[in-house]
Homo-oligomer: A and B are copies of this chain.
Amino acid sequence: MYERFMKRAIELAKKGLGRVNPNPPVGAVVVKEGRIISEGFHPYFGGPHAERVAIESAKRKGEDLTGTTLVVTLEPCDHHGKTPPCTDLIIESGIKKVVIGMRDPNPVSGSGVEKLKKHGIEVVEGVLEEEVKKLCEFFITYVTENRPFIALKYASTLDGKIADAEGNSKWITQDLRHKAHEMRNVYSAVLVGARTVLKDDPRLTCRLKGGRNPTRVILDRRGILSGGSYRVFEDNARVIVFTENKEAKYPVHVEKVLNDCSVGGILKVLYEKGVDSVLVEGGSEVLGEFLEYADVVFAFYSTKVFGEGLDVFSGYRSSVSDPPRFRIVRSEHTDTELFLEMRPCSRG
């Protein structure tokens, strides 16, 4: 019976995607006599929580909250973080029932559910839980595995090439390019290798109207970008460069990380820097390095054939007996392009 309210709360939560990281996106609605009387969502990192926004909005309208139901995607927090605990606010408001999608997986959040129950508030749990988990997957991975959520994105021909025999690669796919920008609008960071920067000089920004730019993470093991001027170094977004080269020099606003440049080493630093999600965009060798770490793979295929050319996962090697396997969770196509969203078949 709470599904339709939870659906609305999820919709609201999504407005915070890409803005609240490494917090989870959260949405909430206050329901009175079967009708939504106010709504709220967590708008940006450090901003007010969804519950507070919804409750205060109702109060501003002069609504009496006594006996109402609060439907919120995530268990309300019971700790003093950047904002006071939502539990206290709920208890004071007169709300008599709280419906949540999932418990807060973050060990530091405290148990909001227990606190509410102790104060005589009925709590209904697990409404549209799978959808809420999907919504919060960056956050769940970040706080339970202490690493960013990892997506791989590639655009290849039917025969798995990301460049032709001459090394030309731009605009392999076009119709579905907007999806790539939607991803950049939501992922906290985009990661590419130094050779991609040298070759394509990409901006790695989000070109959607109203979009926000992700942090750019560059893997420049040997420091080949040292001293150079590239679009990814422009100061319209945060830049983090990983290198093994002590001498490497980058513009002053670039965060240089001296590191072994292993996938594990990179993920550890990104976690510490508050990056909850990384979209690995290439090139070929970088995709190969991150393949076995991927939580999701976004594959764009253009219905072209290059034959000889650069492999999408060059340098990577598995065998027919035990290759990485994925399951297709979404597939869309136009006349000449195909998009697949895939998840690993088995993961610890």
Contacts and interface: CB of A to CB of B under 8 A. Distances in A.
A48 to B, nearest CB: 41
Nearest to A334: B328
A318 interface: yes
Number of copies: 2
Contacts of A318: 164, 304-307
A157 interface: yes
A299 B316 CA distance: 23
A100 interface: no
A313 B156 CA distance: 14
Interface string A297-308: 001001111111
A333 B323 CA distance: 19
Interface range on chain A: under 10, 10 to 19, 20 to 34, or 35 or more? Answer: 35 or more
A168 B317 CA distance: 13
Nearest to A172: B320
A313 B80 CA distance: 60
A158 interface: yes
A331 B333 contact: yes
B160 A320 contact: no
A144 interface: no
Interface centre among A159, A312, A321 (most CB of B within 10 A): A159
A336 interface: yes
B159 A320 contact: no
Interface stretch (A19-27, A35-43, A210-218, A337-345): A337-345
Interface string A144-186: 0000000000001111110111101110100000000000000
A338 B157 CA distance: 15
A65 to B, nearest CB: 46
A338 B340 contact: yes
Contact of A335 (B327, B336, B338): B327
A316 B325 contact: no
Given A160-B159, A307-B311, A311-B159, A165 B328 contact: no
Contact of A317 (B165, B172, B288, B320): B165
A36 B220 CA distance: 74
A158 B299 CA distance: 9
Contacts of A160: 156-161, 311-312
Contacts of A338: 328, 331, 340
A164 B308 contact: no
Interface string A274-317: 00000000000000100100000001001111111001111111
A328 to B, nearest CB: 5
Given A327-B335, A336-B345, A315 B319 contact: no
A326 interface: yes
A265 interface: no
Given A158-B299, A303-B327, A304-B318, 12 more contacts: A157-B160, A159-B313, A160-B160, A165-B319, A170-B320, A288-B307, A303-B342, A306-B323, A327-B335, A328-B336, A328-B338, A331-B333
24 contacts: A158-B312, A159-B311, A160-B161, A160-B312, A164-B318, A164-B323, A168-B319, A170-B320, A172-B320, A291-B305, A291-B307, A303-B326, A303-B327, A303-B328, A304-B324, A305-B316, A306-B317, A307-B311, A307-B313, A308-B311, A308-B316, A328-B335, A331-B338, A338-B340
